[in-house]
Chains A and B, each alone.
Chain A
Amino acid sequence: MRRLAFLALLLLALAVGLVFAGRVGLGPLVITREGDQQLILFLGSPQRVTEPGPALRWPFVETAESYSRRWLNLNAKPDTILTADGEQLIVDSYAIWRIRDPKEFKRTFPSGIEAAETGIDRSVRDDVREVLGRHTLEQVLDSQRAEIMREITARTQAKVGGFGIEVADVRINRTELPTGAEESVYARMKTERERLGRKNRAEGDERARRIRAEADREATVIVANARRDAEIARGEGEALAARIYAEAYGGDAEFYAFVRSLEAYRIAVDEDTTLVLSPHAEFFRFLESSTPPPRPGR
């Protein structure tokens, strides 16, 4: 019983020891962590690459070198390029890459990551220059940006893929105009703004004047319509009055003439009037005799 427990403890200690030794690169056990890969070399010559997890090797004759398997980001140096339409552009790009095959990688870049980065940087800049040189500024900035990036990525991958490197993405993250070109863009922006300002002012004026004119028109029409209706109402009044008069007087036209004449005399004949009367006028018929002469025809 005691012996068994002792044995178990011993085995455990052995296992722990092996794993610890494997972690620091000793013993027959090779532990590869996620995000890493190990190149196993037999007396210095590359043999095989490990996946994450445990692996075995011959102690002492086989050694393991660790390489990252993670995606690395490389910022390419800013570069001045010339687009197809002759515009200068300062381009800043980055590449996402990783070591796909440590065997190839070690062969090409024995001194390690930094050499690889220098190589990728140069390749990316060449490709960016090459591809952008075939496109216009407008295509680079707007209409064909995605295609351009894909093309650069494919070219870079084709160029460095043989060196045990995988390039997932090359992307332009900054484009900038050189100082001189920037000044001319500012000048153009300024004139554009001025044009826009004038246009907006003029359009505002246009709308305002339209509104005013329309309002004045409406007002004029309202008044004119009212005047028309007023004239109609006046006419109606007069017509109605005429009808009332006609109806009243029509029944007794002769008497109306008489009464209305008397009324008219009353108004028309004033102090400035000189009447030349005949003694035979009806008014005077009793002036010369009290018996009424025959009435003059009225």
Chain B
Amino acid sequence: MADPARTSADERVRRSVGRRLRSAVVALALLVALSAWVWRGWSFTLRPGEAAVLLLFGRHVETITREGFHVRLPAPFLERYVVRVRELRTEDFGLHAGGGEETPAELHEATMQTSDNNIVRVSFTVQYTVKDPFEAGFHLEDPAGVVRDAAQAAMREVVGHTTVDGVLREKKALVTAEAARRLQEILDAYGAGLDVAQVQLQGVQPPAEVRAAFDDVVAANQDASRLVNEAEGHRNEVVPKARAEAAEVLAQAQGFREAKVAEATGAATRFRAIAAEYRLAPEVTRERLYLETMEEVLPRVEKVIVEPGAASLVPTLPIGRGREPRP
């Protein structure tokens, strides 16, 4: 009697313990699932250069640009889109890939018309980053495609405003800066949320058909500057030479002048000395000088002493006698 009652009581206890155990296990499982969901779903980490766009029931509510650990509502209520903001995206235009001839498609992409209706081949690269993660992610269907289209339009517009010489040489930097500015304007007008970092010209060339003519102009410029350099060389030679000659002529003249003065001074001093002596004894000095000179002069010469009035002798004088036989 008591046995069945006891068994049934035991059974009840056992059953109730089992039920409790079961519900505890269920609760624990639920708790683990919940906390895993909370942990996995409610928190996330942004690495450097990443941003998260958060949509609540599909509507944009927040953009997180700060890197690190964040806690927000989980999916499916709040959706997260992670965008690599700082990643530099690149688009090439008209760039010749690989060796050999350019393909027609590459040529088409690079061919542009300048303001003076010349044709040039311009290849360039556009680099851009994400400025606004939400706009970049949700405003355009195909951001890269839009960048391609807009960049070509912008570059062609700028080249179309520039002369061929400007594009090829003088204004390269201006062309890239202007193209970047235009591209940014166009993208901003579309609300693309993209930031043009740089437009780089990879190659600017006249078409192959006329390249020789363009090269010849370069050669002509070189010829011209060679001529000018040669002329400057000539000037650098001729002018110093002239200065040297001038210096010579001047020095000679100075020398002549000083010599003249020196000579005169010497002669004058000598004369003064003699004159001073002469003044002391005029008669004697005069006589002496005269006789000394005669002494010196007369022995050398043919002398004919004639009484004045004997003029008839004159025609017979052997004038010039000494000259003829001399060898």
User: In this assembly, does A237 line the interface, its C-beta being within 8 Å of a C-beta of chain B?
Assistant: yes
Tell me if A278 and B141 are in contact (CB < 8 A): no
Interchain CB contact under 8 A, A208 and B210: no
Q: How far does the Cβ of B164 sit from chain A's closest Cβ, in whole Å? A: 8
Are B271 and A234 in touch, CB under 8 angstroms?
A: no
Beyond A34-B60, A53-B59, whether A214 also contacts B235 by CB under 8 A is: yes
Q: Does B257 contact A (CB under 8 A)?
A: yes
B 187-222 to A, binary, CB cutoff 8 A, 1 in contact else 0: 001110000000000000011011001101101110
Identify which of A101-109, A125-133, A157-165, A219-227 touches chain B: A219-227
Q: Are B256 and A234 closer than 8 Å at their CB atoms?
A: yes
Q: Is B18's beta carbon under 8 Å from chain A? A: no
Chain A residues with CB under 8 Å of B227's CB are 204-205, 207-208
- Measured CB to CB, the nearest residue on chain B to A141 is B160
Across the interface, do A169 and B216 meet the contact criterion of CB distance under 8 Å?
Answer: no
Q: Are B141 and A168 in contact, with the CB atoms below 8 A?
A: no
Q: Which of B134, B189, B224, B254 contacts A200 (CB 8 A)?
A: B224
Cα distance A194–B269 in the bound complex, in angstroms: 80
| A-contact bits for B289-315, CB 8 A (1 contact / 0 none) | 111011011101111111110000010
- Asked whether any CB of chain B lies closer than 8 Å to the CB of A147, the reply is no
Task: Write the A198-232 contact mask toward B (1 if CB under 8 angstroms, else 0).
Answer: 10110111011111101110111011011101111
Most buried by B among A229, A244, A279: A244
B residues 155-212 near A (Cβ < 8 Å) are 156-157, 160-161, 164, 186, 189-191, 206-207, 209-210
Given contacts A19-B76, A35-B139, contact A262 B293 (CB under 8 A): yes
| Chain B residues with a Cβ closer than 8 Å to the other chain, count | 118
Distance in angstroms between the alpha carbons of A36 and B58 in the assembled complex:
9
Contact of B221 among A186, A200, A208, A234 (CB under 8 A): A200
Min C-beta distance of A209 to chain B, whole Å: 7
Does B239 touch A at the CB level, under 8 Å? yes
> Judging by beta carbons under 8 Å apart, are A189 and B138 in contact?
no
Closest to A252 in B: B275
Check if A259 is an interface residue, CB within 8 A of chain B: yes
Q: How far does the alpha carbon of A54 sit from the alpha carbon of B56 in the complex, in Å?
A: 9
Query: What are the 10 A-B residue pairs with the smallest beta carbon separation, nearest first?
Result: A204-B224, A237-B257, A226-B246, A230-B253, A248-B268, A219-B242, A215-B235, A241-B264, A53-B59, A208-B231
Known pairs A186-B210, A275-B304; list 13 more (Cβ under 8 Å).
A52-B55, A71-B139, A142-B160, A174-B156, A176-B111, A200-B224, A211-B228, A218-B239, A233-B256, A234-B256, A241-B263, A275-B301, A283-B291
Name B's A-contacting residues (CB within 8 A).
30, 55-60, 76-77, 79, 108-109, 111, 113, 115, 117-119, 134, 137-142, 145-146, 149-150, 152-153, 156-157, 160-161, 164, 186, 189-191, 206-207, 209-210, 213-214, 216-217, 219-221, 223-228, 230-232, 234-235, 238-239, 241-243, 245-247, 249-250, 252-254, 256-261, 263-265, 267-269, 271-272, 274-275, 278, 286, 289-291, 293-294, 296-298, 300-308, 314, 317-323
A interface residues, Cβ below 8 angstroms from B: 9, 15-16, 19-20, 23, 31-36, 51-54, 68, 70-73, 75, 94, 96, 137-138, 141-142, 145-146, 168-169, 171-177, 182, 185-186, 188-190, 192-194, 196-198, 200-201, 203-205, 207-212, 214-216, 218-220, 222-223, 225-227, 229-234, 236-238, 240-242, 244-245, 247-249, 251-252, 255-256, 258-259, 262-263, 265-266, 269-280, 282-284
